Amino acid sequence: MKFIFPPEYGHNAIPWDDQTKLCYELVLCPRLTDIEIDPHYVTETHKTLQRPTLRYRDPQNITETYKTLQSPIKHYRDPHYVTDTYKTLQRPTKHYRDLQNVTDTHNTLQRPTKRYRDPQRYRDPQNVTETHKTLQRPTKRYRDPQNVTETYKTLQRPTNHYRDLQNVTDTHKTLQRPTKHYRDPQNFTETYKMLQTHTTHYRDPQSITETYITLQNPTLRYRVPHYVIESHITLQSPTLRYRDPQNFTETYKTLQRPTKHYRDTHYVTETHKTLQRPTKHNRVP
């Protein structure tokens, strides 16, 4: 008769045979009984998974195309409300999303939260392209779809974080923000204009296509690069404003910020010129 010593139970020896094998799986592994994964809620195409913890994601259960996970706790997502194409789930909690405002192709959801805005007023279907559906945020950082460009739909913010259309680039129309979280279009690549966000308003990779670069955020919604799929190049951020160039790919050059609003020109690539920020709301080329 063999004996095993589980690490989570110290040196309590349990005999290992056919009779106690099931006892070992149920007693020594209580996590399997606490977490109930209902296969009834799993879709056929886009494999909706449950989350045993608040932010945990199991890479073994993740599908290859769209990683939509369930959370059986506060931020639980009900797959009963999953749409047909891209499987966007509702949240029956505080951050509830109304499927009535979802678009036809990419199922962009609105949040009828405290800062809710009428979609009839702010969402113009004429300016929305058929390929890339841009998400609206009915919060302080709302984006007006009337200023959407023709290709990649970068929206203006008619609030404090307004973007000036005079600084728009020629191809992909990336707008500037003359505020604290200013975004310089010179830092964007020529092909895919990905915006960087270092705040809690992280962008969900559910709305990201296979070619776009997804950035990590070491805050509330931090993602471990071990769980990132190979198609999406995920970048790490060791601090709130700092980015490690060792983790970046050769195509998209991202720069370090040694201070809060400063960018070191030593890490600037030859193609994309990065500007320094001498003050909070001013930049000198």
Domain residue ranges in the chain? 1-34, 180-285
- 247, exposed or middle or buried, with CB in 10 Å at 0-12, 13-18, 19+? middle
Tell me how far apart the alpha carbons of residues 211 and 58 are, in angstroms, rounded to a whole number: 22
| Closest to 140 measured CA to CA, from 119, 116, 121 | 116
- Residue pair 213/232 in contact (Cβ under 8 Å)? The answer is yes
Q: What is the pLDDT of residue 153?
A: 34
- Residue pair 237/198 in contact (Cβ under 8 Å)? The answer is yes
Q: What is the pLDDT of residue 187?
A: 38
Q: What is the pLDDT of residue 264?
A: 38
pLDDT beneath 70: ranges in the chain? 1-285
Q: What is the pLDDT of residue 100?
A: 42
Residue range 87-123, pLDDT digits in tens = 333 333 333 333 443 333 333 333 333 333 344 444 4
Q: What is the pLDDT of residue 216?
A: 35
